[in-house]
A and B are shown apart, each in its own frame.
Chain A
Amino acid sequence: MRRQLRSRRAPTLPYGYRYRLDDQDEVNQNYLADEEEEAEEEARVMVVPDLEEEEEEEEEKEEDEKEEEESHSQETDSAWWRKLQIVNEYLWDPEKRTSLARTGLILVIYFFFYASLAAVITLCMYTLFLTISPYMPTFTERVKPPGVMIRPFAHSLNFNFNVSEPDTWQHYVISLNGFLQGYNDSLQEEMNVDCPPGQYFIQDGDEDEDKKACQFKRSFLKNCSGLEDPTFGYSTGQPCILLKMNRIVGFRPERGDPVKVSCKVQRGDENDIRSINYYPESASFDLRYYPYYGKLTHVNYTSPLVAMHFTDVVKNQAVPVQCQLKGKGIINDVINDRFVGRVIFTLNIET
């Protein structure tokens, strides 16, 4: 039915139009243009009432085209020129001043279509946000078990420095200092509460209530706090490395069994590291720092740290070190993820 209509309509088109539609290559190049053109034709068919005007226009148009054809008859072989001409005609037809309006009709339709789509997506996103709590992530299974990260961290897990050349380790010190600013005793005392150790710091109440955070003072780190030794031991070849467990909302280590940290040589001679001092001495993350309530309400939460002080490491040799979390329910042997429950880095201290 429609097809017939189309074919019946087709012969009434001025010659130029048919020619253009017929041109196959052009369909690719002026794809959008084609569409516009069709719209243009169709719009013309729709505007039936002023038939006379229409006819005049068409005549004019035909004349135009003839003129154009004549004027470009020398360049008839340049099909590109003709195509450009056609494109130009849609964009702005100086005679009729209408084609742009017809293109405009399409644009308006598309505008409304996309506006409603935008409305739909807004609605969807709104619904999504309604169902999502800003305080608790809906699912945490992907971020469990917790990952581990160390500080100082500068793009690499290889600690290469020469004790006698401060330039090689100065950036570690700066990084550590920066990191520990938030743990300054004064700040901690001002912002956070000193909560009882050895038990969870559970704060019931509404989700949206602000939660208090437990103090983790820089001074807990003793020799690695940078308070006594501002170079964190790097100047003596006894580097401090801080270990931090990734925050997970609602994560609680198994009751009564705080997560411990233990480091050893990953591969090679175990005696390459003769001693490590852990601060806090328990080498564990106290239960009072758990659970974490999310950054919206648990504003001043400071992640607990464990500092490893490598006091006697073999020098002038790369020593791979693996630090693992140990505790009930802690996984530290995921093959694909080398940062879950463990962290591997190398120490290469030159003297």
Chain B
Amino acid sequence: MLTQTREVAAEPEEGGAGLKTHLPRANVVPLLLFQKREVYSVELSGIKDIEKTDKEDGKEKSRGLKNKCLERKKNHQKEELKKELDMDDHKLSKEELETKYGTNIITETPEIIKFLKQMVGGFSILLWIGAILCWIAYGIQYSHDQSSSLDNVYLGSVLALVVILTGVFAYYQEAKSTNIMSSFQKMIPQASVYLGSVLALVVILTGVFAYYQEAKSTNIMSTLVIRDSEKKTIPADQLVMGDIVEIKGGDQVPADVRLLSTQGCKVDNSSVTGESEPQARSCEFTHESPLETKNIAFFSTTCLEGTATAMVINTGDRTIIGQIASLASRVEDSKTPIAIEIEHFVHIVAGVAVSIGIIFFIIAVSMKYHVLDSIIFLIGIIVANVPEGLLATVTVTLSLTAKRMAKKNCLVKNLEAVETLGSTSIICSDKTGTLTQNRMTVAHLWFDHQIFVADTSENHSNQVFDQSSATWASLSKIITLCNRAEFRPGQESIPIMKKIVVGDASETALLKFSEVMLGNVMDIRKRNRKLSIHETEDPDDKRFLMVMKGAPERILEKCSTIMVNGQEQPLDSSTAEAFHTAYMELGGIGERVLGFCHLYLPTDEFPETYSFDVETMNFPTSNFCFVGLLSMIDPPRSTVPDAVTKCRSAGIKVIMVTGDHPITAKAIAKSVGIISANSETVEDIAKRLNLPVEQVNKQDAKAAVVTGMELKDMSPEQLDEILANHSEIVFARTSPQQKLIIVEGCQRQDAVVAVTGDGVNDSPALKKADIGIAMGIAGSDAARNAADMVLLDDNFASIVTGVEEGRLIFDNLKKTIAYTLTKNIAELCPFLIYIIAGLPLPIGTITILFIDLGTDIIPSIALAYEKAESDIMNRKPRHKKKDRLVNAPLALYSYLHIGLMQALGAFITYFTVYAQHGFLPSTILNLRVEWENDNVNDLEDSYGQEWTRYQRKYLEWTGYTAFFVSIMIQQIADLIIRKTRRNSIFQQGLFRNKIIWVGIASQIIIALILSYGLGSIQALNFTMIRPQYWFVAVPHAVLIWVYDEVRKLFIRLFPGSWWDKNMYY
């Protein structure tokens, strides 16, 4: 009965409101509520209608345009008719037709194979060269002497193996993080529930399930099409242009279609335009922009209700979605800042390695060394110079951070993107769902000539406005009764704001509001049941109450009185003025305003038994009593203003880019602090000074609101100007392409740009951005695929976490690299001195690999766990081109200061070992040739003792081991000093980062195993060394530490001084 009434009642009420059928705001639904005896309520639901006139103007204009077009078309057709009929479509088979007009499949970008890339990137090339040189050296040796040792073959193979293993490892890490990503994607809402093996199982199952679902859904997507003069169901991908299709509620629109006839058709356009409200569709041309006109429905959108017949106008890649998808796929994935930094660093190190290698190759050749020997020196220099383990370390470090961020709801898809947020200097944020809660909420009330503020925080707990007025009692009654939304049953334990509601956005907001304000709404409604007799709250009052809500001005039209302090007063011009002021004020801050009125029907005319009939309208529709206004907004998330402030203090510019109306966008921007309280736009200044907009000095305005229409006419230079001159910018009503343009504009300013978004329309911008951040819950798949990072909780505040982690990882990577580079000098010097001074080789190539890939790995990863030294959120984002990861001070300090000190310490150990065994430094000078001669088995040392070749070799290996241990010991000191770049180690706390100590322990244990566990394995060139050699380098380690403390002390004492600039890395 009730439903019937509603539907029947719709038509006349609409007519009364004077609105056209095709406009959604005209969709007025009256609802009859019968209180026990006399109360009768009519609900008039509508939408605020500020822009109505504009739109209608636009509509007329466009109609005119359309007519002109038609005329032209007609003329053109006349010309065409005179020509011979040129057509062969009739001869073609259906298959040929499909090929001619294109089938309806969106092409996908192919999978890229990253594996080989890992094998040749970075240092791998250098190591390959080293390996090949080794093999060449062996080849030469072999051609001279068939019995030559296989050492060079082994070394070459080891180098190749190192490259392959590092490559496999990096690939694996990358793949793993992508896998984690895709599995998380499928289960984002419950991500935190599953643990351990359950997680793994679920991941697999969801994966399989999702795949199955996907396969299934692509299979069933079929459509009803009129072909061969009959209705057929065919798979949607066989559609061609010109097909006539039928769409009904629940269907996905199979292609871009022009609607031919509709019946109450509504579509969900959120995936295309980002509008979350259902959009009504009709056959009429209403807007020039194809995105906004009502007679077009887009591929992949869903028809929510009604039916439509439509003609296919675009298929496959030519659809709007297809275009966006191909736009997104065509947008080049630019290199992440950290990738650029690492490349830069690789260039530096490779440059140093190659140039030193070549210089010493030349020196060696000119010193009359055999070319073969020179090649072997070259290999040694390359191996010593290249930090083999570093790239793997960086990968691990990044993935550790990625994991940490995933815990904080930032899921990183592309490992390198971990750091990007840290360098970000501009964030282009979408509004809906990111900055706002994406649900309408009652924000303001107006009654008794006063505006009251309602609490819009996530839980609505804190409603402070005055509720004593009798008007409020009436208003709340209307809000409660004049509402069709209902809570879905079975949600008793869920907080009110989280309950799922059946009904549209505004009614949901009202329902939740009244539930919070009054308690059990359903119960109240029950007590005021329609058409049934119940006990009433006020037994004396036997009148029907008729309630109505709707667009304020329409409601006001129907009212003759207004309620003030519970008393009905005649509606005079001053109260109307007050109403308008309030209405404009609330509308002006971007809120959707609803008016509420009621009418007590007199008992004599409408007795208890009166039968209402909406068809004949046998009840009054005017002379209501106006009770109040209520305005709603999609309120900002409570964490956003704080997060925006934090971004500001971190030197990050936050720009809002939204598809929404400028007024709403500006209001939200103001409330979250994107436009700060005291800054004005050019328009604001113009209004304040009463000047035309053109005369205002644009430099005075800190803020700017730019609409898509304005943006369309702008040159890139103008956009640059806006981006550079205004610190607070809001872009409203933007299209996907424009989002892309904005991102490009920002990038032209040398900024690292982060884009947040959720819709398909955001995906090109997400891809173009240095880091695209998609919403995990509300985000569309397209957005999530295009993004580098997914916010699992859709919360803008998580970005701040990301920024913090990104900056921290940048700092920590600096430390890691500084740590790793340092020992390269200690590894390189032996080779240089070996060549120049002819000492027995202090450290072997294999031993170097054991440092780079053995003892140093865990400590350098441990640096990733280091806490920030100072408040990293209070400094500016790094400049992409000035603040490099590896800068000159870092390289020089690592190489020429600490590195050299390490080399010295290690050499002292080396000399100690040799001297204590009989070879004083003076003796070993230039001893190389004899030392390495296999036929000299009675080489005399400083004491006259004679050594066989193998005894010397063994001593040499002892030297390697001692040198290795010394570097290791000094690397411990290096590790400790790298904990901080500026603060004293005591300020940072020696024991706060426990992982560092794990790293130190690992270093010592690995060295112990190598020296004492594998001492007998000849190929590794390790021997058991006397325990005291472990301690020779300890004073040098202490010296390194003291030196670095002094460096930091001077940096702290004299900020900005010469020392600071040259010694701070």
Task: Give residues in A with beta carbon < 8 Å to B.
Answer: 1-7, 10, 21-22, 24, 27-29, 31, 34-35, 38-39, 42-43, 45-46, 105-106, 110, 113-114, 117, 120-121, 124-125, 128-129, 132, 135-140, 142-143, 147-149, 153, 155-157, 244, 246-249, 292, 294-296, 298, 301, 334, 336-340
| Cβ–Cβ contact A294 & B943, under 8 A | yes
A38 and B1062 in contact (CB under 8 A), knowing A5-B1056, A132-B920, A138-B917? yes
Give the residue of A24, A114, A121, A337 whose beta carbon is less than 8 angstroms from that of B950.
A337
| Cβ–Cβ contact A340 & B1018, under 8 A | no
Q: Does B207 sit within 8 A of A, measured CB to CB?
A: no
Q: Mark B63-102, 1 if CB is under 8 A from A, else 0.
A: 0000000000000000000000000000000000000000
The docked-state distance in angstroms from the alpha carbon of A153 to that of B1062 is 59
A128 and B908 in contact (CB under 8 A), knowing A31-B888, A156-B935? yes
| Cβ–Cβ contact A21 & B882, under 8 A | yes
Q: Does B716 sit within 8 A of A, measured CB to CB?
A: no
Q: Does B947 sit within 8 A of A, measured CB to CB?
A: yes
| Cβ–Cβ contact A249 & B908, under 8 A | no
Residues of B near A110 (CB, < 8 A) are 896
The closest CB in chain A to the CB of B1057 belongs to A46
Which stretch from B259-267, B343-351, B366-374, B677-685 is at the chain A interface?
B343-351
Give the residue of B888, B896, B897 whose beta carbon is less than 8 angstroms from that of A38.
B888
The closest CB in chain A to the CB of B888 belongs to A35
The docked-state distance in angstroms from the alpha carbon of A294 to that of B1026 is 23
| Cβ–Cβ contact B881 & A298, under 8 A | no
The docked-state distance in angstroms from the alpha carbon of A42 to that of B949 is 56
Q: Does B861 sit within 8 A of A, measured CB to CB?
A: no
Give the residue of A38, A117, A120, A340 whose beta carbon is less than 8 angstroms from that of B1061.
A38
Give the residue of B900, B912, B943 whose beta carbon is less than 8 angstroms from that of A136.
B943
Task: Give residues in B with beta carbon < 8 Å to A.
Answer: 344, 347-348, 351-352, 870, 875-876, 878-879, 881-884, 888-889, 891-892, 896-897, 900-901, 904, 907-908, 911-912, 915-918, 920-921, 935, 937-938, 940-951, 954-955, 958, 982, 1018, 1026, 1035, 1039, 1051, 1055-1058, 1060-1062, 1064
| Cβ–Cβ contact B947 & A147, under 8 A | yes
| Cβ–Cβ contact A337 & B916, under 8 A | no
A128 and B915 in contact (CB under 8 A), knowing A1-B1055, A46-B1058? yes
The docked-state distance in angstroms from the alpha carbon of A26 to that of B984 is 34
**Across chains A and B, which 9 residue pairs bring their CB atoms closest together, nearest first?**
A295-B944, A337-B950, A147-B948, A246-B946, A138-B916, A339-B948, A137-B918, A149-B938, A339-B937
Shortest B58–chain A CB gap in Å is 47
Give the residue of A31, A42, A117 whose beta carbon is less than 8 angstroms from that of B1058.
A42
Residues of B near A156 (CB, < 8 A) are 935
| Cβ–Cβ contact A247 & B917, under 8 A | no
Residues of A near B1062 (CB, < 8 A) are 35, 38-39, 42, 106
The docked-state distance in angstroms from the alpha carbon of A19 to that of B771 is 27
The docked-state distance in angstroms from the alpha carbon of A292 to that of B915 is 19
Residue picked from A28, A105, A336, most chain B C-beta under 10 Å: A28
| Cβ–Cβ contact B891 & A142, under 8 A | no
Give the residue of B879, B901, B912, B948 whose beta carbon is less than 8 angstroms from that of A337.
B948
A147 and B901 in contact (CB under 8 A), knowing A4-B875, A24-B881, A294-B944? no
Q: A24-B344, A28-B347, A142-B955 are in contact. List 12 more A-B contacts (CB 8 A).
A: A3-B883, A4-B876, A114-B900, A124-B908, A132-B916, A137-B916, A143-B945, A246-B945, A292-B945, A295-B942, A298-B944, A339-B948
The closest CB in chain A to the CB of B340 belongs to A24
Residues of B near A137 (CB, < 8 A) are 916-918, 941-943, 945
Residues of A near B1026 (CB, < 8 A) are 139
The closest CB in chain B to the CB of A43 belongs to B1058
Residues of A near B915 (CB, < 8 A) are 128-129, 132, 138
| Cβ–Cβ contact B875 & A1, under 8 A | yes
The closest CB in chain A to the CB of B872 belongs to A3
The docked-state distance in angstroms from the alpha carbon of A336 to that of B1018 is 10
Instruction: List 5 interface pairs A-B (beta carbons < 8 Å), by A numbering.
Output: A3-B878, A24-B881, A132-B920, A137-B916, A295-B943
Residue picked from A34, A148, A149, most chain B C-beta under 10 Å: A149
Residue picked from B878, B911, B944, most chain A C-beta under 10 Å: B944
The docked-state distance in angstroms from the alpha carbon of A39 to that of B954 is 48
| Cβ–Cβ contact A249 & B881, under 8 A | no
The docked-state distance in angstroms from the alpha carbon of A3 to that of B879 is 10
The docked-state distance in angstroms from the alpha carbon of A43 to that of B1057 is 9
Residue picked from B884, B908, B917, B946, most chain A C-beta under 10 Å: B946
The docked-state distance in angstroms from the alpha carbon of A294 to that of B946 is 11
| Cβ–Cβ contact B938 & A31, under 8 A | no
The docked-state distance in angstroms from the alpha carbon of A45 to that of B589 is 50
The docked-state distance in angstroms from the alpha carbon of A322 to that of B281 is 105
The closest CB in chain B to the CB of A132 belongs to B915
The closest CB in chain B to the CB of A34 belongs to B888
The docked-state distance in angstroms from the alpha carbon of A54 to that of B31 is 83
Give the residue of B944, B951, B1064 whose beta carbon is less than 8 angstroms from that of A147.
B951
Residues of B near A124 (CB, < 8 A) are 904, 908, 1035
| Cβ–Cβ contact A340 & B948, under 8 A | yes
The docked-state distance in angstroms from the alpha carbon of A248 to that of B879 is 66
Residues of B near A142 (CB, < 8 A) are 917, 947, 951, 954-955, 958
A149 and B937 in contact (CB under 8 A), knowing A27-B348, A125-B911? yes
Shortest B303–chain A CB gap in Å is 53
The docked-state distance in angstroms from the alpha carbon of A283 to that of B806 is 79
Shortest A195–chain B CB gap in Å is 19
| Cβ–Cβ contact A117 & B947, under 8 A | no
The docked-state distance in angstroms from the alpha carbon of A113 to that of B1060 is 16
Residues of B near A149 (CB, < 8 A) are 937-938, 946
The docked-state distance in angstroms from the alpha carbon of A153 to that of B1060 is 63
Residues of A near B352 (CB, < 8 A) are 31
Shortest B850–chain A CB gap in Å is 21
Residue picked from A117, A296, A301, most chain B C-beta under 10 Å: A117
| Cβ–Cβ contact A340 & B951, under 8 A | yes
Residues of A near B946 (CB, < 8 A) are 143, 147, 149, 246-248
| Cβ–Cβ contact B1055 & A336, under 8 A | no
Shortest B72–chain A CB gap in Å is 51
Shortest B832–chain A CB gap in Å is 16
The closest CB in chain B to the CB of A39 belongs to B1062
A247 and B944 in contact (CB under 8 A), knowing A27-B348, A139-B916, A142-B917? yes
Residues of A near B1061 (CB, < 8 A) are 38-39, 42
Give the residue of A10, A31, A39, A129 whose beta carbon is less than 8 angstroms from that of B351.
A31
Give the residue of A1, A24, A246, A334 whose beta carbon is less than 8 angstroms from that of B938.
A246
A139 and B917 in contact (CB under 8 A), knowing A120-B904, A294-B944? yes
| Cβ–Cβ contact B950 & A334, under 8 A | yes
Residues of B near A337 (CB, < 8 A) are 948-951
Residue picked from A42, A106, A129, A143, most chain B C-beta under 10 Å: A143
The docked-state distance in angstroms from the alpha carbon of A103 to that of B948 is 51
| Cβ–Cβ contact A10 & B945, under 8 A | no
A121 and B908 in contact (CB under 8 A), knowing A3-B883, A31-B348, A143-B951? yes
The docked-state distance in angstroms from the alpha carbon of A288 to that of B1018 is 38
Residues of A near B883 (CB, < 8 A) are 3, 6
| Cβ–Cβ contact B1055 & A339, under 8 A | no
Residues of A near B901 (CB, < 8 A) are 117
The docked-state distance in angstroms from the alpha carbon of A301 to that of B940 is 14
Residue picked from B351, B891, B1035, B1061, most chain A C-beta under 10 Å: B1061
The docked-state distance in angstroms from the alpha carbon of A296 to that of B950 is 25
The docked-state distance in angstroms from the alpha carbon of A196 to that of B73 is 133
Residues of A near B945 (CB, < 8 A) are 137, 140, 143, 246-249, 292, 294
The docked-state distance in angstroms from the alpha carbon of A324 to that of B449 is 119
Residues of B near A135 (CB, < 8 A) are 943
Residues of B near A294 (CB, < 8 A) are 943-945
Residues of A near B900 (CB, < 8 A) are 114, 117
The closest CB in chain A to the CB of B938 belongs to A149
Residues of B near A148 (CB, < 8 A) are 937
| Cβ–Cβ contact B943 & A246, under 8 A | no
